[in-house]
A and B are shown apart, each in its own frame.
Chain A
Amino acid sequence: MSRERMVNAALMALLLGVPLWAWATDEPFTITLATRVAILALAGVGLNIALGLGGLVSLGHAAFFGIGGYAMGILASHAQSYTPLMESPFLLEGTKSMPVIWLVAILASALAALVIGALSLRTSGVYFIMITLAFGQMLYFFSISWPAYGGEDGLSIYLRNGFPGLNTLDPIQFFALCFGCLAAALWFNARLVRSPFGLALNAARQSPERVETVGLGTFRLRLVAFVISGAITGLAGALFADLNRFVSPGMFSWQMSGEIMVFVILGGVGRLYGPVAGAALFITLEHVLGGISPFWHVWLGFLLLLVVLFARGGVIGLLAGRRVAHD
C-alpha cells in the first residue's frame, strides 16, 4: 500500500468516524458539518475529473451545481404545493423522492455540460477559464431575475426529500446517503482513470498532438470528460440543496465556482482524494476561524496563499509526498 493510499484511507475513515462519534455523543451539528464536507467533496470530485484528469480549468462549475440544486428545488416545490410541473402535452408531477430527483439533476446538468462544453471547448487556456465563467454568470443572472422560482429569494423546501427505507430527516442517515454517493463517485473516478478512456484523456492533457496522431479526437474525449464532470457536480448540487432544504441563485455565483476549485487545489489537483481533503480542511477552517475572529477571511486568505506558494500538490501532496510517475 503506497503512502498516498494510506492517507486516503485515513481520510475516509476520519470522514466516516467523526459523524459516527458525534452520533454516539449526540452532537447533531457535527454530523451536519460532516455531511457538508461529503457533499462539497463530491462537487470537487466532479470538477477534478475535468480539472485534474482532463486539464480543463473550468471556473463555471457552479452552473452545474446550481442546476442540480434547482432540479431538486423545482421538483420538490411542485410536490410541496401539489401543482403539476406541466399539464400539456403530458402531465408531469413534482416529486419528493430523492432517487428521481438525483436522476433528473444528473441528466439536466449533463445536458447543460454538453452544450456549454461543446461551445467552450473550441477555446483553450485562459479563454476556456473565462468562457466557462461567462456561462456561469449567465445562469446566475437568469436565476436572479426569473421570478417563477423565487428569484433572488430562492426556494425553501420545508421538509427534506425522502429516500426509500430511510428517514432522511435523521442527520446520520442523511449523512450515510451523502457519504455513499461520495464513495460511489470516488470508485467511479478510480475506475475511470484506469479505463482506456481515462488513459486517452490523460494523454490528451499531456500531449494532445500525439493523441490526435493516433487517431483519437481530443475534442470528443474532453467533451465526454466535461459532461461526466458536470453531471457529478450536478448531483452534489441536488444533495446540497437537500442538506439546506433551500436553493438560491448563490449556488450559481462565481464565488461558488471559486470555492469548488479551492477544494480541489487545496487537496491536490488530480489526486483522487484531493477534493475530500480540501473540502474537509476548508469547512473545518471556516468553522474554527469563524468563531475566533470576525475578520477570519484574512487568515483564510493567508493560509491559502501559503498552501499555493509552499505546499505544491496540496494537502495530499504534503502528507503523501511527491507523486511517483504513474498511470
Chain B
Amino acid sequence: MKLTTFVAAACIAALGGAAFAEDGALKVGMITTLSGGGAGLGIDTRDGFLLAAKLAGGDKLDIVVEDDQRKPDIAVQLADKMIQSEKVDILTGIVWSNLAMAVVPAATAQGKFYLSTNAAPSALAGKGCHQNYFSVSYQNDNLHEAAGAYVKDAGYSKPFILAPNYPAGQDSLTGFKRLYGGELSGEVYTQLGQTDYAAEIAQIRASDADSIFFFLPGGMGISFLKQYADSGLELPVVGPAFSFDQGILQAVGDAALGVINTSQWNKDIDNPANARFVEEFQAEYGRLPSLYAAQGYDTANLLLSAMDSADISDADAFRAALKSADFDSVRGDFAFAANNHPIQDIYVREVIKEGDVYTNKIVGVALEDHANVYVDECKM
C-alpha cells in the first residue's frame, strides 16, 4: 500500500473507523497546502472534504491527500504522480490560483476531471475553460464584485482601493470596479507578501476617501487590519471574506470587529444542510468551520451526488451529472453557469464576537444568483 493512501485511509479511519475504500470506490486525488505559512487553508479544505466523505459512509471515495507546499512545480509533480501511478479519476483541493494554473490545464487535457475547492482564476473561466473543469467555490472575481456592489449600494462615493501587485490582485480591483462603477479616491498596488502598510495608510489619510476596499489574503490582511486599527482612521472597511475567515480572525482580534466582508457562505445561512455541516464539523474537529472547509465539504457532496446517477467510466454522463449540481449545498441554491462556475448568492457579512470567539454574521445579500462575466468567452 502506498504511504499516502495509507495516510488518507488513516484520516478517514480516524474520522470514525469507517471501512477503507473497497472496489468500485471513486479514486480522488487531493493536492492541497498542508505545510508552510498557508497550511491552515489546505487543512480546512481537506477536513471539510473528508467529513463529507465520512458522512456519506466513508467507502464511496478513495482519497489520496498530498501536500503541495504551495509550490507550483511540486503541485505539477503530484498531479503527474496521481494521474500516472495512483490512477485517480478526479483531482481537487488546490487553494492558490497560480498552482491551479499550473495543474488544471494539463490534467483536463489528459481527460481527468478537476473540481476546484477554491482557486478559480479568470483564465480558466473564459477562453481557457474546459468541460472537465468545475469550480465549486466561485469565480475569483465574485467576492470582489460583490464588495463593489455593496459599496455602491451603501452610498459611498470615494472608496480607496488596494491589493497586491499580482494577477489575482489586479483581477480583484478590476472586479471591484466592474460593479462599483463610480469614482475612486485612490488605487494602490502593494507588494506581494508586504507586511508593513504604514505608507499606504498614510496615503489613505491624506486622501479624501470615504471608505476602503482591500484584498490582502493571508498574513498581509492581518498586518493591514492591525495597523489600520492603530492608525486612528475610522473609515469603514470592506473586503472579500478571505481576511475575515474563521481560521484567521482570531489572529486579527478586535481590529476586525464590525468590518463588512463579502462571502458566498457563512455558518448562519439557514438551511438543513448547513446546520448539519456546522454541527458535524465542530463535533469532529472541535473548531468552527471556515469558508475553505465549507467549499471542501460541498465539493465532496457534489462528487457523491454525481456518482449516484452516473458512472465515471462514462465521462459524458458523469460530466452531465456533475453539471446538474443535484446536491444540497451548504450555501442553499446552487447551480452551474455555462462555463462550469457557480450561480449563487453572495452575502454581506459583519465581523462579530460570540463569547470569546470572533466570527461573522450575515447582514444582507450583495448579489443574488450571481454568475460571472466570462460565460460568453467560454466556448466548450
A interface residues (Cβ-Cβ under 8 A, vs B): 27-30, 32-33, 36, 141, 144-145, 147, 150-154, 156, 158-159, 171, 240, 244-246, 248, 250-251, 290-292, 294-297
Contacts and interface: CB of A to CB of B under 8 A. Distances in A.
Nearest to B34: A294
Given A245-B106, A248-B98, A297-B35, A153 B76 contact: no
B192 interface: yes
Contacts of A32: 77, 80-81, 84
Given A27-B85, A32-B84, A152-B192, A244 B166 contact: no
**Residue from A153, A246, A248 whose CB has the most chain B CB atoms within 10 Å:** A153
Q: Which 6 A-B pairs have the closest CB atoms?
A: A152-B166, A291-B3, A29-B85, A28-B84, A246-B102, A244-B76
A151 B166 contact: yes
A240 B81 contact: no
Contacts of B170: 147, 151
Contact of B105 (A29, A144, A156, A292): A156
B85 A244 contact: no
Contacts of A151: 165-167, 170
Interface in B52-99: 66-67, 71-73, 76-77, 80-81, 84-85, 97-98
**Residue from B4, B7, B71, B72 whose CB has the most chain A CB atoms within 10 Å:** B72
Given A32-B84, A153-B121, A291 B4 contact: yes
Contacts of B76: 244-246
Contacts of A36: 77
Contacts of B121: 153
Contacts of A30: 85
Interface of B: 2-4, 7, 34-35, 66-67, 71-73, 76-77, 80-81, 84-85, 97-98, 101-102, 105-106, 109, 121, 123, 165-168, 170, 191-192
Contacts of A248: 72-73, 98, 102
B167 A29 contact: no
Contact of B3 (A153, A159, A292, A295): A292
A290 B69 CA distance: 10
A153 B77 contact: no
Contacts of B109: 158-159
Nearest to B108: A158
18 contacts: A27-B85, A29-B84, A32-B77, A32-B80, A32-B84, A33-B77, A144-B165, A147-B167, A151-B166, A152-B98, A152-B166, A153-B167, A156-B101, A159-B109, A244-B102, A290-B66, A291-B7, A294-B34
Contacts of A150: 101, 167
Contacts of B80: 28-29, 32
Nearest to B36: A297
Given A29-B80, A244-B77, 10 more contacts: A144-B165, A150-B101, A150-B167, A151-B165, A153-B168, A156-B106, A246-B102, A248-B72, A290-B67, A294-B34
Contacts of A27: 84-85
Nearest to A248: B72
Given A158-B105, A244-B102, A152 B73 contact: no
Contacts of A159: 109
B81 A154 contact: no
Contact of B166 (A28, A29, A153, A297): A153
A246 B72 contact: yes
A145 B35 contact: no
B215 to A, nearest CB: 14
Contacts of A141: 191
A244 B72 contact: yes
B129 to A, nearest CB: 14
Contacts of A156: 101-102, 105-106
Contacts of B102: 154, 156, 244, 246, 248
Contacts of B35: 294-297
A33 B73 CA distance: 12
Contact of B71 (A29, A171, A250): A250
Contacts of B167: 147, 150-153
A245 B77 CA distance: 10
B84 A153 contact: no
A150 B81 CA distance: 25
B192 A144 contact: yes
A240 B71 CA distance: 14
A147 B34 CA distance: 29
Given A147-B170, A240-B73, A244-B76, A153 B101 contact: yes
Contacts of B105: 156, 158
A156 to B, nearest CB: 5
Contacts of B4: 291
A145 B190 CA distance: 10
A144 B242 CA distance: 21
A239 to B, nearest CB: 12
A229 B81 CA distance: 32
A73 B66 CA distance: 27
A72 to B, nearest CB: 14
B166 A145 contact: yes
A245 B73 CA distance: 9
Given A290-B67, A294-B67, A152 B106 contact: no
A118 B3 CA distance: 49
A91 to B, nearest CB: 25
Contacts of A250: 71-73
A40 to B, nearest CB: 10
A151 B122 CA distance: 14
Contacts of B106: 156, 158, 245-246
A154 B72 contact: yes
B165 A145 contact: yes
A248 B109 CA distance: 20
Contacts of B101: 150, 153-154, 156, 246
Contacts of A296: 35
A126 B2 CA distance: 45
B97 A153 contact: yes
Contacts of B97: 153
A240 B4 CA distance: 25
